Amino acid sequence: MNSTTLNIEALIFSSEQSVTIFEIMQVLQAAGEENVTEDSVKEHIESIKQKYDDANFAIALVEINKGYQFLTKKEHYQLVNQLQIQRSKKRLSQSALETLAIIAYKQPITKLEVEQIRGVNCDYSIQKLLEKELITISGKAETIGKPLLYSTSTLFMDYFGISSKSQLPQLKDIAAEQNEIGEKPE
């Protein structure tokens, strides 16, 4: 592997979020590398992907949210999941989860609209979600008072491994049979 490939690998590895080709190009150019093109970066990324496709590595280079990130391979899910359970002290409260779900499915949405859906004040939950960078302020509504609009962040997309709102689970995908009322038709 040449130094450019190693530099790209280091950039992706060191980033907490997915890194886009454009960001990689900017950093390499700022570091003084010459002949950095989109095609050359893609070639280097493909080389890195092939390296980590080997069964001797527990991680893989994955494209998510229009960028690249190192993630643990699926066969190590149970082990990594146990670690996450151990570290779950930083979990979101039930109210923050509810607020996040509403924002994810209805984005962009104002705080008032979230509160109308939940039926309670959401100031604290929205503040915590902003602090954890799971949501962002995406603009202002064109209504009286110009309230702030909230949307999910790229960190949210990275965390859940999705690229767009359309990849969120649909209600029909998660509805359980025990939640049905009445007898089943035969």
The model's pLDDT over 132-170, given as tens digits with 9 standing for 90+, comes to 889 999 999 999 999 999 999 988 888 777 888 888 887
CB-CB neighbours of 160 under 10 Å = 15
Task: Flag whether the pTM goes above 0.95.
Answer: no
Fold of 90-171: Arc Repressor Mutant, subunit A (1.10.10)
At the topology level, CATH places domain 3-76 in: Arc Repressor Mutant, subunit A (1.10.10)
Cα 10 to Cα 24: distance, rounded to the nearest angstrom: 10
Task: State yes or no: pLDDT of 78 exceeds 70.
Answer: yes
Please list the residues that pair with 63 across neighbouring strands. 68
Q: Which one, of 112, 121, 109, lies nearest residue 152 by Cα? A: 109
Domain with CATH 1.10.10.10 in the chain: 3-76, 90-171
What is the percent of the chain with per-residue pLDDT over 70, rounded to a whole number? 88
DSSP state of 91: P
67-71, 74-78, 90-94 — most confident range: 67-71
